A and B are shown apart, each in its own frame.
Chain A
Amino acid sequence: MRNQFKDTLLKLAEDEPRFALLFGDISVFLFREFQAKYPNRFYNLGICEATLISVAAGLSSQGFIPIVHSIAPFVTERAMEQIKLDLVYNELPAKIVSCGATFDYAWDGTTHHAWTDTGWMRMLPNFEICQPGSKKETDQLLCHYLFSSSSSYIRLSDNPHGEDINDITPGKGIILQDQAADLTVVTAGPILKNVRAALDGISANLIYYNVLKPFDSEPLQKFKNTKIKVVHDAFGLFEAVCENIDAPVKKLGLPDRFCCSYGTIDDVRKLAGLDVESIRAFFLKE
């Protein structure tokens, strides 16, 4: 998805002089072509995530579309107050594009895991949160949300779900399966991969989101009389579903403890109970 981020920015920058890229000394080599082509629109400002956000607010006040990029926990958690005040309260919109979603950097340990970001950011008013699950969705969401009038968070992952989902309108949830089943599964982003595998042989409806806020409640309404189960490797989807439907909702999400075993994303997902077997057991449980 990070490669797609680069390709999409190269494509869009040709016709958009307002872009100003502010990088926290990450992905700089990847963006070398962008930097060479647009030297006064690319700034590797250093490892100072809070200030990247503040600088973005300043650029935004002067009519630019600032795009801040760094590793997810650092550019969100460390810069939380700058995001809340400098961007959102000041009404100085910027775009935050992160890499290293949830357990992408499993081997790096807890310091590099990002799982609170979508949960607390959804509490910010007039703020958009995207969790693309593929390169195609990354392109689609960037093309839309980079031009929106609000601040947006676009959370890239190195572990796409592997599906080619057609006909997604940015901001809309999509019904991937409608089997008129008693069970409706709701999920978002890359964990769709495990959800699909876990659903093998189980009759269920399946709703997929790649935008957590603003939340599109329409697909949910169709299944409001079914059992609803949410699977998410971050926070925010379950809360959004509960707020938008008058029905009991069950959740399989992250446990109330740190999940650090190094290895691969699959190793840590297993530790967190988000591996295929655990998800399947959740679906089969009454």
Chain B
Amino acid sequence: MVSLASPRSVRKNILESSHKSGHGHIPTSFSIIEMVLATYGIMNHNPNEPKDPDRDIFILSKGHAALGYYCCLAELGYFDPKIVHSFGGAGTIFGCHPDRVKQPWVEVSCGSLGHGIGVGTGIALAQKINNTNRQVYCLIGDGESNEGTVWEAVMVAVGQKLDNLTILYDNNQSQSRCLQIRKPAEIFSAFGCEVHEVNGNDIDELQKVLSLPVNGRPKCIVANTIKGYGCRTLVNDVFAWHRRSPNEQELNQLLEELDA
């Protein structure tokens, strides 16, 4: 397994970037970090050549976790981590949602929920037609999965036997106050996916199931994560911190909690 990237370093950059920019969904950004690092750890990708024609594809369908994604990419060597401090500012390419038109390492612009997985299904179908071994990974949210298009795409991917598509389902309980999807593993399984349920904040567990072979159907990894994982303050009050940037005092406290 290849991943020298440090989740702690990514979290630190998320906090600092949000503090400096005044933007960012920190708790959801924190919940995806291990999934992104684990997946890039096994993916064929090249930070120096983001458009490498043989690369595997990663799509962050839950685009509001962009800050977490950018900080992971920085940690993986795509760009200088400090550039992310421009997050959401005028003229930056690091908008609050990933944008393929502005960023060469972004495959699909996402922000409106329920789009990335459909486009990812098309990319996976293209690999089947072209008979390549390229893999497609799509990270979706549990809240995002309130959108019907997620399930349309899953049905199409199953119908087309797209075993080169892996769905990473961030089960961070984001919808506990409204439309929570209970027993997602059973649902994805009923739809026809090969399902693995793991601790989504554990890179080793994730990479074990990411590496398992699958035949004739998409893989779905139900990743049980904790919103705000890594900082007690965020975990204890996720709704207050949903889209809030820390002031200097709060930043210092959150950084201390990271080290605890």
The reply to whether the CB of B74 lies closer than 8 angstroms to some CB of chain A is no
Closest to A64 in B: B126
Specify the main secondary structure of chain B where it touches its partner.
Answer: helix
Which partner residue on chain A sits nearest B150 by CB separation? A51
Q: Is A108 an interface residue (CB 8 A)?
A: no
Say whether B152 faces chain A, with CB atoms less than 8 Å apart: yes
Tally B residues with Cβ within 8 Å of A: 27
Structural contact, A82 and B120, CB atoms closer than 8 A: no
Q: Identify which of A20, A57, A61 contacts B129 (C-beta below 8 A).
A: A20
Given contacts A43-B125, A48-B152, contact A61 B159 (CB under 8 A): no
A58 touches B149 (CB 8 A): no
B126 and A59: CB pair below 8 A? yes
Query: Does B121 make an interface contact (CB < 8 A)?
Result: yes
Chain B residue, CB-CB nearest to A92: B119
Q: How far is the CA of A85 from the CA of B159 in the complex (A)?
A: 25
Residue A111 CB within 8 A of the other chain: no
Which listed residue, B101, B108, B122, touches A55 by the CB 8 Å rule?
A: B122
Chain A residues lying within 8 Å of B109, measured Cβ to Cβ, are 85, 89-90
Q: Knowing A55-B125, A57-B119, A85-B115, say if A90 contacts B153 (CB, 8 Å).
A: no
Instruction: Report which residue of B121, B122, B126 has the largest number of chain A beta carbons within 10 angstroms of its beta carbon.
Output: B122
Q: Give the size category of A's interface with B.
A: 20 to 34
- Among B100, B108, B124, the most chain A Cβ lie within 10 Å of the Cβ of B108
Give the residue of A40, A51, A86 whose beta carbon is less than 8 angstroms from that of B152. A51
Listed residue (A51, A56, A63, A90) with the most chain B CB atoms within 10 angstroms of its CB: A51
Docked Cα-Cα span, A81 to B114, in Å, equals 11
From known contacts A54-B153, A62-B126, infer whether A91 and B121 are also in contact, taking CB-CB under 8 Å: no
Contact of B149 among A46, A54, A56 (CB under 8 A): A54
- Residues B123 and A62 in contact, CB atoms below 8 Å apart: yes
In Å, the complex CA distance between A56 and B126 comes to 10
Interface residues of B in 80-115 (CB under 8 A from A): 100-101, 107-109, 112, 115
A65 to B240, CA, bound (A): 46
Contact with B along A171-200 (1 / 0, CB 8 A): 000000000000000000000000000000
For residue B130, which residues in chain A have a CB less than 8 angstroms away from its CB?
62
Q: What does DSSP make chain A's interface, helix, strand, loop or mixed?
A: helix
Indicate whether B2 reaches chain A with its CB closer than 8 angstroms: no
- Complex interface: chain A residues within 8 A of B125 (CB): 43, 55, 58-59
A53 partner residues in chain B, CB cutoff 8 A: 118
| A171, chain B: closest CB distance, angstroms | 25
The one of B115, B156, B160 that contacts A86, using a Cβ cutoff of 8 Å: B115
Given contacts A43-B160, A89-B101, contact A58 B118 (CB under 8 A): yes
Interface residues of A (CB under 8 A from B): 20, 40-41, 43, 45-46, 48, 50-51, 53-64, 66, 81-82, 85-86, 89-92
Mark B residues whose CB is within 8 Å of A. Answer: 100-101, 107-109, 112, 115, 117-127, 129-130, 149, 152-153, 155-156, 159-160
- A51-B152, A55-B118 known; 15 new pairs, CB 8 Å cut-off, are A45-B160, A46-B155, A46-B156, A51-B118, A51-B153, A54-B117, A54-B118, A55-B122, A58-B118, A58-B120, A58-B121, A58-B122, A58-B124, A81-B115, A90-B108
